[in-house]
Every structure is written in C-alpha cells, then in structure tokens.
Amino acid sequence: MSRFPTVRQRRLRRTPALRRAFAETRLHPAALVLPVFVKQGLQGHTPIASMPGVAQHGVDSVVALARTAVEAGLGGMILFGIPTTKDAEGTGGWDPQGPVPAAIRAIRAEVGDELVVWADVCQCEYTDHGHCGPLDAAGRVINDLAVEGYVRDAVAYADAGADLVAPSGMMDGQVAAIRGGLDAAGHEQVGIVAYAAKFASAFYGPFRDAAESTMRDGDRAGHQMDPANAREARRELDLDAAEGADALMVKPALPYLDVVAAARAGADLPVAAYHVSGEYAMIKAAAANGWLDGERAMAEAVLSVLRAGADQVLTYAALELAAPAEER
C-alpha cells in the first residue's frame, strides 16, 4: 500500500466543493420524519418548554405544519395524540373522532398523498395511569389486552387514511396481531413500521411532557429493552421482521448506533431510527448556553444516524435540517 507523500488524504478535503462531492452520507429532507403532537380541542399551538422549537398542535395547526413539511420535502410526519379524557384501558386511542384520526383526515384533505403520514400506536398517551396498556393487580401491563388495543388503534388510523402505523408499545406479538387486524379490515396496503428495538431509556423525559404521558408510578423496564442488551435487540428485530413488519425501528438513536448498524447489516427491510426528545433537547440546551454550535451539532447527530445505516430518521429537527445549510 502506498504511503505519504504519494498518498495525501487531504486532497479530497481541500475545498467545500470537493468535500460535498465526496461525502459518503448525505442529509436529505426525504430521509427525515417529523414527530408531531396533536392535542384534542386545542386551537393553534402551545410551545413545549422542555423542547425548544416544538409544540403541541390543534388540528388546524397540524394542517399548516403538514403543508410546510410537503414544501420542505420531508419524508413524512408521525402523529402522537393527546386526548381530552383518559381511562384505564386507553380507549381514546381508537376513537374515530380522536386527535390522531381527526388530524389524519384533515391532512389528507389539505395535501392528499403528497405527504407520508405515520401514526404512532400505543396507549401511554390515552391511559390515566400513563402505561402502555391495561394493568394487572400488580401494576404490570397485560400484554395481550394491550395488543388488542393496538389493533383497534391501528385500524382506526388506517380508516382515517394513515400510510403507516408504528406500534411502539414493545408488547410481544404486536406486529403479527396488527397485520392481521389491518388485513381483516381491508387495509392490506397500510404498512407497519415496528419499533422493534425500543430501549427503556433515560432520554424520553421531554417527550412525556409533550405527550402528557408521564406514568403515575412504576416504569416501562418490564417491556422496553434493557440498554445493556444488543444481542437481544437483534432477536427483537428478527422477530418483528418475521411477524410481517414492513420496516424496523431502533429507539433511541445516538446511544444505540451499534444496534442501528446491526439492523442494517442483518435485515433487508428499511431501517428507521428515532432521534428522541432528550437527544434533541440536550443539543438545544447546550446551544442556548453557548456551549456548542447547535446547528452544526444537530446536523452532525442526525448525519451519524444515517451513517450508521438508517434509511429514515425521526427527528424534531426535521424542518430545520431540511433547510439549505446556508439558511440554517
């Protein structure tokens, strides 16, 4: 192998044009999906203090945001609902007049098929205790009853016009059950993006503020994955692929780039990764304190997820990253 001075690696780094030409990974708007919180009964939008630049939206505000997303060329939006009333089972999740179905119908009326519309499927925003499904006497989520709710949710969102449903509860068998429920309801064309490797992470705090899904007590460590386990993550990915997932997701992204890379290496399905609320908020907080260049740090963080092998990145920074670099 030739060595210096014959080999000079800096030749292809010399100018911005050369660096652009030889970039191995590109940050493109179509690879970005914007998470959006839809609050039932809200008019306009309400900023979320722990997530600068992010807000809860009413249906009117969501429609305007969808038009902006189309104009920016985003890969899609994923909707999370916040109902006006909650109960122990989370029945508001499958209410056809609930926040997510109402938003999907309004988005479709405004932009048609110009935007890929995802709907998150879980009960944590809809239960009065904040867990991901009905609880037993010991306060543990009842797996099979939770899955029954997810199937109802998925069908309600498909009925409203969702392109993709994304089950995030990490219940055993959820993907197969949802696939069967969608097909039985005539929605065989609606895809499933499985949160296949979702970890019990410390990085979800701001999301729970935004989604109003803070748990009354307990935690989610009994169904979300142990952050120590990568081999188990590969098994979860394989199982969801076998159950009929159309794409696989890893959540969070930055602390689990090894899992993203393993998903890309081990599966032919598209791979998504969720750059979660805490990952977003810590960059915003550091930038607000002048500790780093927030725009560069955000772009670098999301680029690293794409470099690890993700085809799509769910990020609250989607719109700011979709802007040309000179406009950020």
Query: CA-CA distance, 173 to 61, in Å (whole number)?
Result: 35
CATH classification of the domain holding 81:
3.20.20.70
Assess if residue 151 is contained within a domain. Answer: yes
Cβ–Cβ < 8 Å for 302, 319: no
Read off the pLDDT of residues 88-105 as tens digits, 9 standing for 90 and up: 999 999 999 999 999 999
86 is catalytic: no
Query: Of 39, 86, 251, 284, which is the active-site residue?
Result: 251
Assess if residue 291 is contained within a domain. Answer: yes
Can you read off the two tokens belonging to residue 52?
């600068």
Query: CA-CA distance, 38 to 126, in Å (whole number)?
Result: 12
Assess if residue 37 is contained within a domain. Answer: yes
Assess if residue 186 is contained within a domain. Answer: yes
284 is catalytic: no
Read off the pLDDT of residues 211-268 as tens digits, 9 standing for 90 and up: 788 778 878 888 999 999 999 999 999 999 999 999 999 999 999 999 999 999 999 9
DSSP 248-288: EEEESSGGGHHHHHHHHHH-SS-EEEEE-HHHHHHHHHHHH
Cβ–Cβ < 8 Å for 153, 107: no
The domain total for the chain is 1
Cβ–Cβ < 8 Å for 199, 251: yes
pLDDT score, position 309: 98
Between the alpha carbon of residue 42 and those of residues 58, 150, 210, the distances in Å are 4, 25, 14
pLDDT score, position 327: 53
Assess if residue 106 is contained within a domain. Answer: yes
Those residues of the chain that have pLDDT short of 70 are 325-328
Q: What is the pTM of this model?
A: 0.95
pLDDT score, position 209: 85
pLDDT score, position 323: 86
pLDDT score, position 325: 63
Assess if residue 2 is contained within a domain. Answer: no
Can you read off the two tokens belonging to residue 239?
């199982």
Nearest to 214 by CA among 318, 125, 310: 125
Cβ–Cβ < 8 Å for 309, 248: no
pLDDT score, position 217: 80
Nearest to 165 by CA among 129, 128, 106, 116: 116
End-to-end CA distance of the chain: 41
Assess if residue 230 is contained within a domain. Answer: yes
- In which domain, by residue range, is 118 found? 28-322
Query: Of 39, 86, 198, 284, which is the active-site residue?
Result: 198
pLDDT score, position 219: 85
Assess if residue 22 is contained within a domain. Answer: no
Nearest to 310 by CA among 23, 32, 29, 22: 32
